């Protein structure tokens, strides 16, 4: 029997991860898919296959399972992708190996993450839950696809496998549920599976508070595994990530008041975050929702805390807010993806070259975690290959995106020296309100990523305000987008009122649209009106050049209109970053208008 190339893919991925209401749902869902990939990798090397992607040898310690965020040595496990490529030696039946891998993944999923959750959450489950119903919901989650071919020309064989798997994914299995109870609520996460939870009044209160399950919330078996698969204090809430820079400022400007607040949180038993390895969780290891007065009552009710919320908040939280001001309730969802990756992989002519490429991607993923978590106070959800998903505080988001881009460029320069074009990284930043669901924040980040990938090697930012307004801006990395936004942020914080930006935006709406046939004489009108608007400022008047605008009357109208439009979009996006900068109370700010 000849050697074979075997391609295995696991799912679901995007929709499954996005079905999240809390940070633990999102993180554990992503982590669980990585662990299923790790189980598949163990089974492949256990069947004497040689892994190509990811490039892990038979005795690699990264093959060991890890259900917690950290291994016993304190290091996070390497994220394993949902697509695995392996070389099957002659004498080994690839079909039998693929079936063995599928069974190994299914057994791991059923016995390691799922079964312990069912046991420890028994007091949350409905009394009429049967083993058949639980097992059906668990076992129907996994989507396993495998394809294999005799190993001839490496590039051709790999491309044929990709086409075969892509074709199979276009088909769908629609098996009917066999063990539904009927006439019961559906899961709040996916809306497809029946809830396995008991009615709210029958749920054990300690478990309800521990896993933050509201009375109106329903979870199926898979959703419950995502919610209760780890210990609650392992997960950093999105609000703690969003406020990380603000809390660092408060730790310097209101240290005495923050110390008193920490002690007050310990006394009432506020939910903790026990992640000393994450800089965003060290200064304030409690639920940071307490910094928003309008959340005090809800927080006390959800966690079953003793005392009166307003009295406690006025005593412990208000002194901090008087020193630093209330934080800005927005967070950045960063989604990054490599450009030209398919072309780069297609140019690889051997399994050895592909392993070298895989090692470079693994090195980037490892450095991405360091960049996001240790250098920029964020939390990494996933970094595998050229994909990155993370949450960041706004003051750190732009610098983090640029550092990731530079790190990826370095990794690809060494691994793809002879590949043209060399892969690049497109990064999307979706900025949304903390009260938005995690699924919506993730969708926003992915929209920004798609906007960046439209032009490739770019950064795109989409800001979705709670009021309903949405602002978007993008630029290629060669144009220095992070620097442009930093300068715009400084301009709004120091010299230019955002009212002027809105005034110029309204001006663009009043002037003719730059369609074919519009006279270029409108260029002079547009330039003159922008100059007049900037001259009438409380700061004493500004020229277009002072705010980064180059206005030339000789420029044709569509080009000048697009230039001013790009400036407006950039300033409106930058306004969100400017508002998120931590400030001591009493510091003067540029005039603001609601949006």
The yes-or-no verdict on residue 595 having pLDDT over 60 is no
Please tell me the predicted confidence (pLDDT) of residue 587: 44
Q: What is the pLDDT of residues 550-571, one digit of tens each?
A: 887 778 889 999 999 999 999 9
Give rounded-to-5 percent helix, strand, coil for the chain.
Answer: 50, 15, 35
Q: What is the predicted pLDDT for the residue at 12?
A: 83
Q: How far apart are CA 509 and CA 113, in angstroms?
A: 55
In eight-state DSSP terms, residue 392 is E
Please, what is the angle between helix 351-369 and helix 394-415, to 10°?
A: 160
User: Which stretch of 84-88, 205-209, 288-292, 394-398 has the lowest confidence by average pLDDT?
Assistant: 205-209
Is 351 within 8 Å of 367 (Cβ atoms)? no
d(CA 429, CA 255): 32
Task: Map out the domains of the chain as residue ranges.
Answer: 4-228, 238-324, 329-479, 482-594
Residue 515: per-residue pLDDT: 80
C-alpha separations of 587 from 177, 256, 329, 411, 583 in Å = 61, 20, 19, 43, 7
Q: What is the mean pLDDT of residues 64-88?
A: 92
- Residue labelled with tokens 């304190």: 74
> What 3-state DSSP class applies to 168?
helix
Whole-angstrom CA distances from 365 to 20, 281, 332, 369 are 23, 22, 19, 7
**Please, are residues 54 and 41 in contact by the beta-carbon 8 Å criterion?**
yes
Return the pLDDT at 591.
38
- For residue 593, pLDDT over 70 is answered with no
* Mean pLDDT (whole number) for 505-522: 86
The pLDDT value recorded for residue 238 is 93
Is pLDDT of 588 > 60? no
Q: What is the pLDDT of residues 10-35, one digit of tens each?
A: 988 767 777 777 778 888 888 999 99
Q: Residue 583's pLDDT band (boundaries 50, 70, 90)? A: confident
Given a cut of 70, whether residue 217 has pLDDT beyond it is yes
* Number of neighbouring beta carbons within 10 Å of residue 173: 6
**What is the mean pLDDT of the segment spanning 442-463?**
96
Instruction: For the chain, give the percent of residues with pLDDT over 90.
Output: 69
Q: What is the mean pLDDT of residues 388-398?
A: 97
More confident residue, 151 or 593: 151
Q: Please state, in angstroms and rounded to a whole number, the distance separating the CA atoms of residues 149 and 163.
A: 12
What pLDDT is stored for residue 584 in this prediction?
65
Least confident of 57-66, 412-421, 492-501: 412-421
Nearest Cα to 244, choosing from 594, 580, 593, 589?
580
Q: What is d(CA 532, CA 78) in angstroms, rounded to the nearest whole number?
A: 57
- What's the predicted TM-score (pTM) here? 0.91
Mean pLDDT of 338-367: 92
pLDDT of 589 > 60? The answer is no
Answer whether residue 9 shows pLDDT above 80. Answer: yes
pLDDT at 539: 60
Please, which pLDDT band fits residue 393 given cuts at 50, 70 and 90?
Answer: very high
- Helices 255-268 & 244-253 angle (0-180, nearest 10): 120
Average pLDDT over residues 51-58: 94
Q: Specify the higher pLDDT residue, 8 or 544.
A: 8
Q: DSSP for 303-340?
A: HT--S-HHHHHHHHTHHHHHHH-PPP-EEEEEEEEEES
The total of other beta-carbon atoms located within 10 Å of residue 203's CB is 19
The predicted model gives 496-510 an average pLDDT of 92
Instruction: Give phi and psi for 218, each to the nearest 5.
Output: -125, 140
Supply the pLDDT for residue 24. Answer: 82
Instruction: Give residue 590's pLDDT.
Output: 39
Alpha-carbon gap, residue 51 to 55, rounded angstroms: 5
* Three-class SS state of 216: coil
pLDDT of 415 reads 82
Contacts of residue 483, defined as CB under 8 A and 6 or more positions apart, other chains included, come to: none
State how far Cα 147 lies from the chain centre. 30
Using only C-alpha atoms, the chain has a radius of gyration, in whole angstroms, of: 27
Whose tokens are 């697009």? That residue is 562
In this prediction, residues 278-298 reach a mean pLDDT of: 94
CA 405, CA 388: separation in Å to the nearest integer? 11
CA distance linking residue 559 with residue 491, whole number of Å? 24
Average pLDDT of the residues of the chain: 91
Query: Distance (Å, rounded) from C-alpha 376 to C-alpha 417?
Result: 30
The DSSP symbol for 149 reads: E
Q: State residue 550's pLDDT score.
A: 84
Same topology between domain 4-228 and domain 329-479: yes
Question: pLDDT higher for 169 or 571?
Answer: 571
Q: Is the pLDDT of residue 1 over 70?
A: no
Q: How far apart are CA 554 and CA 556, in angstroms?
A: 6
Judge contact between 148 and 7, C-beta under 8 A.
yes
Give per-residue pLDDT as tens, 255-275. 999 999 999 999 999 999 989
Class of domain 329-479: alpha beta
Predicted confidence at residue 585, as pLDDT, reads: 59
Protein fold of 4-228: Alpha-Beta Plaits (3.30.70)
Residue environment code for 110-131, b if the CB has 16+ CB neighbours within 10 A, otherwise e: bebbbeebbeebeebbbeebee
Left (φ > 0), alpha (ψ -120 to 50) or beta: where does 434 sit?
Answer: alpha
């Amino acid at each position: 029997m000849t050697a074979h190339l075997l391609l295995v893919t696991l799912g679901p991925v995007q929709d499954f991860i996005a079905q999240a209401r809390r940070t633990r749902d999102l993180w554990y869902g992503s982590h669980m898919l990585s662990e299923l990939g790790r189980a598949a990798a163990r089974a492949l090397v256990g069947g004497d296959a040689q892994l190509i992607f990811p490039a892990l040898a038979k005795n690699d310690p990264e093959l060991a399972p890890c259900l917690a965020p950290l291994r016993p040595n304190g290091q996070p496990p390497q994220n394993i992708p949902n697509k695995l490529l392996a070389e099957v030696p002659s004498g080994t039946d690839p079909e039998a190996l693929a079936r063995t891998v599928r069974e190994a993944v299914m057994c791991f999923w059923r016995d390691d993450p799922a079964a312990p959750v069912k046991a420890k959450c028994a007091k949350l489950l409905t009394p009429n839950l049967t083993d058949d119903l639980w097992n059906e919901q668990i076992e129907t989650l996994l989507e396993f696809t495998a394809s294999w071919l005799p190993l001839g020309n490496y590039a051709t064989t790999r491309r044929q496998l990709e086409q075969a798997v892509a074709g199979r994914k276009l088909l769908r299995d629609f098996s009917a549920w066999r063990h539904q109870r009927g006439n019961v609520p559906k899961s709040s996460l996916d809306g497809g599976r029946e809830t396995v939870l008991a009615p709210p009044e029958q749920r054990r209160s300690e478990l309800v508070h521990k896993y933050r399950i509201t009375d109106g919330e329903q979870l199926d078996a898979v959703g419950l595994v995502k919610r209760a698969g780890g210990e609650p204090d392992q997960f950093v809430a999105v609000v703690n990530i969003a406020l990380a820079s603000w809390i660092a400022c408060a730790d310097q400007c209101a240290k005495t008041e923050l110390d008193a607040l920490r002690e007050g949180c310990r006394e009432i038993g506020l939910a903790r975050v026990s992640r000393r390895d994450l800089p965003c969780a060290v200064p304030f290891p409690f639920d940071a929702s307490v910094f928003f007065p309008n959340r005090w009552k809800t927080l006390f009710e959800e966690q079953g805390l003793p005392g009166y919320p307003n009295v406690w908040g006025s005593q412990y939280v208000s002194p901090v807010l008087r020193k630093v001001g209330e934080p800005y309730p927005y967070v950045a969802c960063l989604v990054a993806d490599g450009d030209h990756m398919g072309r780069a992989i297609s140019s690889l002519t051997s399994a050895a070259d592909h392993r070298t490429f895989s090692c470079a991607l693994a090195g980037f993923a490892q450095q991405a975690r360091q960049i996001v978590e240790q250098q920029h106070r964020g939390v990494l959800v996933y970094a595998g290959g050229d994909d990155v998903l993370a949450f960041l505080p706004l003051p750190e988001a732009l610098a983090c995106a640029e550092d990731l881009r530079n790190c990826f460029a370095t990794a690809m320069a060494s691994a793809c020296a002879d590949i043209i074009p060399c892969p690049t990284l497109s990064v999307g930043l979706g900025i949304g309100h903390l009260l938005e669901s995690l699924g919506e924040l993730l969708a926003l980040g992915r929209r920004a990523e798609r906007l960046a990938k439209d032009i490739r090697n770019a950064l795109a930012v989409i800001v979705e305000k709670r009021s309903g307004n949405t602002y978007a801006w993008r630029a290629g990395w060669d144009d220095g987008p992070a620097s442009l936004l930093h300068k715009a942020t400084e301009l709004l914080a120091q010299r230019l009122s955002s009212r002027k930006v809105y005034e110029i935006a309204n001006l663009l709406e009043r002037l003719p649209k730059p369609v074919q046939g519009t006279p270029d004489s409108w260029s002079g009108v547009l330039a003159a009106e922008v100059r007049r608007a900037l001259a009438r400022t409380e700061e004493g008047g500004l020229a277009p050049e002072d705010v980064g605008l180059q206005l030339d009357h000789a420029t044709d109208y569509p080009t000048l209109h697009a230039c001013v439009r790009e400036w407006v979009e950039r300033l409106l996006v930058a306004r969100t970053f400017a508002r998120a900068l931590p400030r001591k109370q009493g510091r003067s700010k540029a005039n603001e208008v609601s949006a």
